[in-house]
Amino acid sequence: MSNLSSEDEDLSKTKVVQTQVSTDSSDYEEGFDSSKLSPEAKGGDKDSQMATQQPLPRRKRFIPKYDVEGVYKVALGEDTQIQVEMVIGTHVNAQFPWKAVSKVKIMETIDVGGELSEFFALKAQIEVYPDNDILMGYIVDESKDVDEFYICCTNEARDHCKQQSDRFIKRQEKKLEKAVQKKPRPWKSLGSEIEIKELIPINSRPLMEMEIRVKFPKYYEPKHLKVRDTNASRDGYIELTPYRQKFNNVFRRRVDCGSQAAPPTMHSYAQTVLKYPQNMWTQSIADALGKVDDKEAGGDTGIENVEMTEDKGPGSSDEEEEEVEGTTDEVGLQAYKNALLRMRRPSYIKKINNFMTTINNEIISMVELNTVMDMYCNDYPKLMSEQAVDVYDTMTFEEYVCFTDVRAKDKYVSCAVFHPMWSGIVAIGYSDGSPTVIKTVSSRADPIQRAVYGLNPVLIWSHIDSLIPKLFLESPREVKVLSFCPFNENILIGGCINGQIILWDLTNKLENVERMEVLSEKREKYRIAMNAHMGWMKNVQDNAVVQPTALSNLITSHYGPITSINWLSPNFTVTPTGKSIFNNDKKKSLMFFSGSDDGVILIWNLSVENVTQFEGKKVKKSKRVPKRPSGLLVDVSDYKVLDRVLQPCYKIVLGAAGQPQTLPVQSFGMNAPVIKYINTPRNTGTGRKYFTSEIVKQCEADNNTILYCGSQHGEHIRITWEGHEFNTGEVVNSEYADIKYSCCIHDGIISSTQKNPFINHITLTVGGKILAIWSDKLSSKPLTWKKRPYRLTAGVWSLYKPSLFFVTTSEGDLETWDLLLRSDQPIAIQTLSGNMLTGISLHTLPLAKNIIGVSDVNGSFRLFLDPPIFMIENPNYTGRMEATIIRELKVMQSFMAWQDEWMLNNPQILQEMRRKEGELLALKEDEKRREREEEEKRLEEEAEARRHEKMKVVGPEERWQKIIQRLIERTIAVKKRINRAELIEQEKPLRELEAQRLEKERRMLEIMKKQKTIFNDTVAILFPEAIKKEEKVKKSLLSDNKHNLKKSYLEEYTYLKNSSIATVRENPFQAKFSWDSTLVEGKERRQALNAHEDFINLHKLRLDEEGKAPPPPPPVIVKEIEAEPSEKLDIF
Amino acid sequence: MATEVEETIKRIQAHKGVMGVVIVNHEGIPIKSSLDNATSVLYSGLISQLTEKARNVVREMDSTNELTFLRVRSRRHEILIAPDREFILIVIQNTSD
CB within 8 Å: B12 and A363: yes
Kindly determine whether residue B48 and residue A336, on different chains, have CB atoms separated by under 8 Å: no
∠ Cα A70 A73 A78 (to 5°): 135
Task: Phi first, then psi: give them for residue A810, nearest 5 degrees.
Answer: -75, -5
CB atoms within 10 A of CB A468: 13
DSSP character at residue A69: T
Q: A558 with A602: CB under 8 angstroms?
A: yes
* Those residues with Cβ within 8 angstroms of residue A14's Cβ, 6 or more apart along the chain or in another chain: none
Task: Give the amino acid at A983.
Answer: L
Give the single-character DSSP code of A294: I
d(CA B44, CA B22): 7
Q: What does the alpha-carbon distance between residue A895 and residue A893 come to, in Å, rounded to a whole number?
A: 5
Using alpha carbons, list the distances in angstroms from residue A1013 to A224, A421, A914, A1008. 94, 76, 67, 10
Dist CA A484 CA A1022 (whole Å): 85
Distance of CA B75 to the CA centre of its chain: 18
* Subunit contact B29:A353, Cβ cutoff 8 A: no
3-state helix, strand, coil in chain B (%, to 5): 35, 30, 30
User: What one-character DSSP code corresponds to residue A407?
Assistant: G
Distance from CA of B88 to the nearest CA of A (A): 9
DSSP string for residues in A198-214: HTS----SPPPP-----
Q: 3-state DSSP: chain A helix, strand, coil percent, rounded to 5?
A: 40, 20, 40
Backbone angles phi, psi at A503, to 5 degrees: -125, 135
Q: In whole angstroms, what is the distance from residue A119 CA to residue A763 CA?
A: 140
Closest CA to A86 of A104, A102, A65, A73: A102
CB distance A412 to A433 below 8 Å: yes
Compare all CA atoms of chain A with the CA of B63 and give the residue at the minimum distance: A1091
Predicted local confidence at residue A566, as pLDDT? 92
Closest in B49, B80, B84 to A367, CB measured = B80
- Beta-carbon separation of B37 and A301 below 8 A: yes
Nearest alpha carbon to residue A847 among A825, A832, A823, A863: A863
Test the A interface: residue of B8, B33, B35, B59 with most A CBs within 10 Å: B8
Q: Which residues of A touch B80 (CB under 8 A)?
A: 363, 366-367, 370
Which comes out higher in pLDDT, residue A535 or B6? Answer: B6
CB B19 within 8 A of CB B43: no
CA distance A1061 to A365: 47
Spatial CA neighbour of A85 closest among A145, A140, A136: A136
The answer to whether A413 and A839 have CB atoms below 8 angstroms apart is: yes
- Using only C-alpha atoms, what is the Rg of chain B? 14
Q: What is the pLDDT of residue A307?
A: 40
Peptide bond into A217 cis (omega under 30): yes
In angstroms, rounded to a whole number, what is the distance separating the alpha carbons of residues A411 and A434? 9
- Calculate the alpha carbon distances from A407 to A404, A429, A459 in Å: 9, 11, 10
User: Is B94 near chain A, with CB under 8 Å?
Assistant: no
Find chain B residues with C-beta within 8 A of A355's C-beta.
Answer: 84, 86-87, 89
* Per-window interface: B 8-37 vs A, CB < 8 A: 8, 11-12, 15-18, 23, 25-29, 31, 37
Q: Answer yes or no: do B82 and A367 touch at CB < 8 A.
A: no
CA distance B16 to chain A (A): 6
pLDDT on residue A263:
82
CB burial of A1077-1092 (b: ≥16 within 10 Å; e: otherwise) equals ebeeebeeebeeeeee
> Nearest-CA distance from A1123 to chain B in Å?
21
Interface check B75 vs A, CB under 8 A: no
CB contact under 8 A, A356 and B37: no
**Residue A1066 DSSP SS3:** helix
Residues in chain B closer than 8 A to A1097 (CB atoms): 85
Q: Which residues pair with A473 in a beta bridge?
A: A458, A546
Q: Would you state the pLDDT for residue A1130?
A: 45
Q: How many CA atoms lie within 13 A of A692 on its CB side?
A: 4
pLDDT in tens, A371-420: 887 777 777 877 776 655 556 667 888 888 999 988 888 888 999 999 99
Query: Treating both helix axes as pointing N-terminal to C-terminal, what angle do A1011-1022 and A980-1009 enclose, rounded to 10 degrees?
Result: 60
* Contact check, Cβ <8 Å, A335/B27: yes
Q: Rounded distance, CA A887 to CA A819, Å?
A: 13
Facing A279 at nearest CB: one of B1, B46, B69: B46
User: What pLDDT does A540 receive?
Assistant: 66
Q: Which of A356, A362, A364 is the best mutation test for B, with the most CBs of B within 10 A?
A: A356
* Alpha carbons A904 and A676: distance in angstroms, whole number: 51
Residue from A105, A168, A111, A109 nearest A134 by CA: A105
Residue B87, chain A, CB below 8 Å: the answer is yes
CB-nearest to A279 from B49, B80, B97 is B49
Beta carbons of A289 and B41 less than 8 Å apart: yes
Looking at residue A390, its pLDDT comes to 56
Question: What local confidence, expressed as pLDDT, does residue A954 receive?
Answer: 66
Among B13, B59, B65, B86, pick the best mutation site for testing chain A contact (most A Cβ within 10 A). Answer: B86
Question: Smallest Cα–Cα separation from B26: which of B51, B59, B60, B62?
Answer: B51
- Specify the DSSP class assigned to residue A483: E
Cβ atoms of residues A73 and A149 within 8 Å: yes
pLDDT number for residue A631? 64
CB A403 within 8 A of CB A464: no
Task: Give every residue of chain A whose pLDDT is below 50, as ranges.
Answer: 1-53, 55, 283-288, 290-327, 613-617, 1109, 1116-1132
Render pLDDT for A529-540 as a digit per residue (tens, 0 to 9).
888 888 787 766
Contacts of B91 in chain A (CB under 8 A): 363, 366-367
Which has the closest alpha carbon to A782: A719, A716, A720, A826? A716
Decide: A568 and A562 in contact? Cβ < 8 Å.
Answer: no
Chain B environment of A358 (Cβ under 8 Å) = 84
Q: How far is CA A955 from the centre of its chain?
A: 85
Say if residues A810 and A836 touch (Cβ distance below 8 Å). Answer: yes
Using a CB–CB cutoff of 8 Å, tell me whether B58 touches chain A: no
Task: State the pLDDT at residue A41.
Answer: 41
Q: Which residues of A touch B28 (CB under 8 A)?
A: 278
Which residue among A279, A352, A358 places its CB closest to the CB of B45? Answer: A279
> B29 to chain A: nearest residue by CA?
A336
State the count of interchain CB pairs (< 8 A) between A and B.
106
Minimum distance, in Å, between the CA of residue A280 and any CA atom of chain B: 6
| pTM recorded for the entire structure | 0.48
Element (H, E) at B92: strand B87-94
Give A851: exposed, middle or buried? Use CB within 10 Å, 0-12, 13-18, 19+. buried
Shortest Cα–Cα distance, A377 to chain B (Å): 9
The residue type of A341 is L
First to last CA, chain B: 35
* Residues from chain A contacting residue B25 (CB–CB below 8 Å): 339, 342
CA angle, A470 then A419 then A592, to 5°: 125
Q: Rounded to whole angstroms, how far apart are CA atoms A426 and A413?
A: 12
| B4 touches A: beta carbon within 8 Å | yes
